[in-house]
Amino acid sequence: MGFRFTGEPDFSLAFLTTPFYIRVAMTPDDRRIPEDPTPLIASPTDVAPLTHLAPKPPHERTADEEADVIDWEKLAGSERFRNLLKAKRRFIVPAMIFFIVYYFALPVLIGYARPFMEKRVLGPVNLAYLFALSQFFMAWIIAALYVRAAARFDKMAAGVIAKQDEQEQE
């Protein structure tokens, strides 16, 4: 069997011989290809254990496994949990409304107050450009304020769960 170039690649050449890992791993008298050659060529350390000997850590538990740990219905009905939701709403709703109004103010002002937005401030830069640029800064400021508020929300959430744990232990 010689190599002839016919204008198209001949991929069958790659499959004419047995792969090197099977030739090395198997004895010459056993030419059957195993279903999974991994045990023949890999070491036992290549396979991670599929189970834990100890209980799963909290970050690996699924929602079904967590269902027995905390009584979510009771937690959702607690006063502390409702206060947490109210605090989140008091921050998120006004921040969202402010940013939406701020965001849509640019096209509205450009459409209805064009002479005002065309006023030059510094060289060729007018108020419209500055307002558009300020939207980036406003998004960063709102994000920074949310990070600060989220730290407060996290403390409140930890308090809600701690209170729930105390009630369960009693």
Output the CA angle 161-89-80, nearest 5 degrees: 25
3-state secondary structure of 98: helix
| C-alpha pair distances (Å), 66 with each of 7, 69, 159 | 63, 5, 19
Locate the DSSP E strands across 59-160: 120-122, 125-126
Interatomic CA distance for residues 12 and 41, integer angstroms: 25
CB 80 within 8 A of CB 123: no
pTM above 0.85, yes or no: no
Interatomic CA distance for residues 115 and 65, integer angstroms: 63
Phi, psi of 125, deg, nearest 5: -80, 125
Give the residue extent of every domain in the chain: 11-50, 68-169
Percentage of the chain surpassing pLDDT 70? 63
Q: What is the pLDDT of residues 54-110, one digit of tens each?
A: 777 777 777 777 666 667 788 888 888 999 999 999 999 999 999 999 999 999 999
Q: What is the pLDDT of residues 108-134, one digit of tens each?
A: 999 999 999 999 999 999 999 999 999
CB 56 within 8 A of CB 68: no
